[in-house]
Amino acid sequence: MKINVYLLFLAIVAVSCTPARDVAYFQQVGEPVSTLSQAEYSARIKPKDLLSVTVVSSEPDASRRYNLITPQPGTQIGYLQSQPTLQNYLVDEEGNINFPSLGLLQVKGLTTKELEKLIEDRLRPYFTEEMPIITARIMNYSVNMIGEVHRPGQFQTENGRMTVLEGLALAGDMTIYGRRDNVKVIREDADGERVVYTLNFNDKNVFNSPGFFLEQNDVVYVEPNVSRANSSKYGAAESYRITTVSVLISLATMAITIFGLTR
């Protein structure tokens, strides 16, 4: 009887350890890990992106003509007042924007820093004193988190950079039913082709995956594990009955074990 108790104990330990292995991140911790540094990553501009570009200098009259401004009506003590608002640039299918006074600029595939440098070089002949400060940003930098996460949805970033770990944190992390070894990052590249990257968070090399740094409009899908997939085959009533039967079996097994030990 003692042998049976020991076997039962070992079985319980084995069962309880299995979920821990399934839900733990970075199981190779402690081993050397080479990572892609933040400095090496910059988002690239794609067609249909929304860009904010501002030109500011000590020569207001010279810089004003290079800002895309649309006046908006406002009210002030009984009369209309024009309040200028900076407008965003929509990158067309060919990857161009129509910049004031400079015409069409090919921006597809550029980083925001490279776009700032391009505009600075084009504007250099038009400023006699000092060069203006040019700031470019991607305004539609958001990612979509779906599947086995606590808060699925669309999440934005203000700094033009988001890792898949940051995206998962915004979505409340994976549920215990999410597969850590099969997270999909679905991406549409600058040419409209869809690419799917599979990330394994049990592997230290996940940091070097092209899908680790998320790009604008990426979709991150956390696949459910076998337990969740199987439970989806049953309705609420069936799941309740299965759970009840499982609890009764566990209680019966525990009672048999306890009464067997007291004999």
Task: Enter the tokens of residue 172.
Answer: 């409340």
pTM of the predicted structure, to 2 decimals: 0.70
Q: What distances in angstroms separate CA 179 from CA 42, 148, 166, 182, 192, one per listed residue?
A: 28, 8, 17, 6, 28
CATH 3.20.20.70 is held by the domain 50-138: no
pLDDT at residue 186 is higher than 80: yes
pLDDT at residue 233 is higher than 90: no
| Residue 50, CA atoms < 13 Å, CB-side half-sphere | 8
CATH class as words, domain 141-228: alpha beta
pLDDT digits (tens, 9 = 90+) for 64-114: 888 887 655 555 555 444 455 778 999 999 999 999 989 999 999 999 999
Per-residue pLDDT at 126: 84
How far apart CA 178 and CA 64 sit, in angstroms, is: 52
Q: Where are the beta strands (DSSP E) in 215-260?
A: 219-224
Per-residue pLDDT at 191: 80
Identify the weakest region by mean pLDDT among 90-99, 167-176, 196-205, 252-261: 252-261
Among all chains, which residue has been given the structure tokens 């004003």? 64
| Residue 52, CA atoms < 13 Å, CB-side half-sphere | 10
pLDDT digits (tens, 9 = 90+) for 106-158: 999 999 999 999 999 999 888 877 888 999 999 999 999 999 999 999 999 88
Q: Do 26 and 89 contact (CB within 8 A), yes or no?
A: no
pLDDT at residue 240 is higher than 80: no
Domain boundaries, the chain: 50-138, 141-228, 236-263
